[in-house]
């Protein structure tokens, strides 16, 4: 891992030097490519910022003119874009999971309220049974109503539990489908870029292929988490 980070740092210095040599109209595509490589290595924004600072030191740019420093900052801003977008997607996933947990919590509370109501009904039934038993009146009718109430209690409990389970699975499935579709869209776009890059260098194709593997790996992870959550 350390060796890969060192190579990325070297590529960053080379790309930044070339970018500054090409002038203000230089393409920012190399910076974006470095950012995607950083994402593939699991780097955070602060780590890439350290790579940028070391590159400035290596190139002796701290005492350069403001224009050069500004273009170097623009290069860095473009390089961290994939990391920022990945972090934003992760935060959104966390928010969705939080909402899912909140929804399940509400369903659990509703079930608890329903159970308390049913328990009160059972208590009332017992009180009625005792009263009828003492008075010796309507004993048969009370017993029949008691059995019906017990049956209804079991049916309602089963319905509430089934509804809660269905709701949880539906939410989990929707979350999985939404994220998986988003990742699939990214993968389709990368396939398109790979076809367009047939006339480009081998390194550019490898970069796209590496990003595709990252997307596929992320999609599998999301499906696994959603599957485990849905079966929990």
pLDDT at 228 over 80: no
Residue 24 exposed, middle or buried by CB count within 10 Å (0-12, 13-18, 19+):
exposed
- In order, the DSSP letters of 77-136 are HHHTHHHHHHHHHHHHHHHHHHHHHHHHHHHHHHHHHHHHHHHHHHHHHHHHHHHHHHHT
pLDDT at 37 over 90: yes
Find the mean pLDDT for residues 3-19: 90
* Choice between 164 and 14, residue whose per-residue pLDDT is larger: 14
Confirm if 143 and 149 have CB atoms less than 8 A apart. Answer: no
Nearest-angstrom CA–CA distance, 51 and 45: 10
pLDDT at residue 80, rounded to an integer: 94
pLDDT at 43 over 80: yes
Find the mean pLDDT for residues 93-103: 76
- pLDDT tens-digit map of 144-173: 787 888 888 888 888 878 877 877 777 667
pLDDT at residue 204, rounded to an integer: 63
pLDDT at 24 over 90: no
Reported confidence tier of residue 104, pLDDT bands at 50, 70, 90:
low
pLDDT at residue 147, rounded to an integer: 84
Return the domain boundaries, the chain.
Answer: 2-79, 83-231
pLDDT at 174 over 80: no
Sign of CA dihedral 46, 47, 50, 52: negative
pLDDT at residue 18, rounded to an integer: 93
- pLDDT tens-digit map of 181-224: 666 666 666 676 666 666 666 666 676 777 777 777 777 777 77
pLDDT at 140 over 80: no
pLDDT at 23 over 90: no
pLDDT at residue 188, rounded to an integer: 62
Q: Is the pTM of this model over 0.85?
A: no
User: What count of other Cβ atoms lies within 10 Å of the Cβ of residue 221?
Assistant: 12
Identify the helix (H) or strand (E) that includes residue 201. Answer: none
């Amino acid at each position: 891992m350390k060796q890969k980070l060192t190579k990325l740092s070297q590529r960053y210095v080379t790309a930044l030097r070339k970018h500054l040599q090409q002038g203000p109209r230089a393409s920012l595509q190399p910076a974006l490519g470095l950012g995607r490589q950083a994402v593939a290595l699991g780097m955070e924004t602060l780590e890439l910022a350290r790579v940028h600072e070391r590159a400035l030191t290596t190139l002796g740019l701290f005492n350069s003119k403001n224009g050069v420093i500004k273009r170097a900052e623009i290069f860095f801003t473009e390089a961290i874009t994939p990391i920022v977008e990945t972090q934003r997607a992760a935060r959104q996933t966390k928010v969705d999971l939080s909402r899912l947990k909140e929804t399940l919590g509400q369903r659990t509370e509703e079930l608890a309220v329903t159970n308390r109501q049913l328990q009160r009904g059972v208590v009332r039934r017992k009180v009625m049974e005792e009263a009828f038993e003492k008075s010796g009146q309507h004993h048969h009718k009370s017993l029949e109503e008691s059995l019906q109430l017990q049956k209804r209690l079991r049916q309602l409990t089963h319905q509430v539990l089934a509804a809660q389970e269905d709701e949880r699975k539906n939410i989990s499935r929707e979350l999985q489908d939404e994220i998986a579709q988003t990742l699939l869209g990214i993968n389709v776009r990368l396939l398109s870029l790979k076809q367009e890059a047939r006339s480009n260098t081998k390194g550019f194709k490898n970069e796209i292929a590496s990003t595709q593997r990252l997307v596929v790996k992320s999609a599998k992870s999301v499906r696994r988490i959603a599957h485990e959550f849905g079966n929990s």
